């Protein structure tokens, strides 16, 4: 698990993105880096994200609902246990009222259906 320096003031968000659609993940990461100067770390599965990184290193986590292994809700709950201050955003290709309700119960502040417009994601991360 990697560490990050704590206490350093940053003007740009540190974003963790987890999605098993590599093309979408790369595109969203590029949008955030170019359009709002975000520091973005990406993973294709929940397991990779939990093993390779430390949740306290991130301000925002953008998670896909359907992932290989653990789903985005489970990953979000694990990240929130470690870092209660992290902002959670859930993306789903098949959003339903039930998924949205579960996401809110798991501490997600925002839930969006994919595909998501770059401006929408950037605004959600900024607020």
Q: Please, what are the averages of pLDDT over each run of 10 residues along the chain (127 residues)?
A: 45 91 94 92 93 82 93 94 93 96 96 94 90
Helix (H, G, I), strand (E, B) or coil at 71: coil
Q: 48 is written with which tokens? A: 């990779």
pTM: 0.89
Which secondary structure element, helix H or strand E, spans residue 28, and what is its range? helix 22-36
Q: What is the pLDDT at residue 10?
A: 57
What count of Cα atoms within 13 Å lies in the side-chain half-sphere of residue 46? 17
Q: Where are the alpha helices (DSSP H) in 37-117?
A: 46-52, 72-82, 97-105
Q: What is the pLDDT at residue 55?
A: 67
What count of Cα atoms within 13 Å lies in the side-chain half-sphere of residue 99? 18
Q: Which domains does the chain have, with CATH numbers?
A: 14-126 (3.40.50.2300)
Q: What is the pLDDT at residue 121?
A: 93
Scan for tokens 């470690």, then name that residue: 82
Q: What is the pLDDT at residue 53?
A: 72
What are the CA-CA distances from residue 63 to residues 8, 29, 79 (Å)? 25, 12, 11
Q: What is the pLDDT at residue 63?
A: 98
């Amino acid at each position: 698990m990697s560490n990050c320096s704590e206490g350093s003031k940053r003007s740009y968000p540190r974003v963790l993105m987890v999605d098993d659609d590599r093309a979408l993940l790369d595109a969203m990461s590029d949008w955030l880096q170019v359009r709002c100067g975000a520091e973005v770390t990406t993973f294709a599965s929940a397991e990779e994200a939990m093993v390779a990184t430390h949740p306290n290193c991130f301000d925002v986590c953008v998670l896909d609902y359907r992932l290989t292994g653990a789903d985005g809700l489970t990953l979000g709950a694990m990240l929130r246990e470690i870092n209660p201050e992290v902002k959670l955003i859930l993306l789903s290709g098949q959003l339903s009222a039930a998924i949205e309700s579960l996401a809110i119960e798991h501490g997600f502040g925002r839930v969006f259906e994919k595909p998501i417009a770059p401006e929408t994601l950037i605004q959600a991360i900024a607020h």
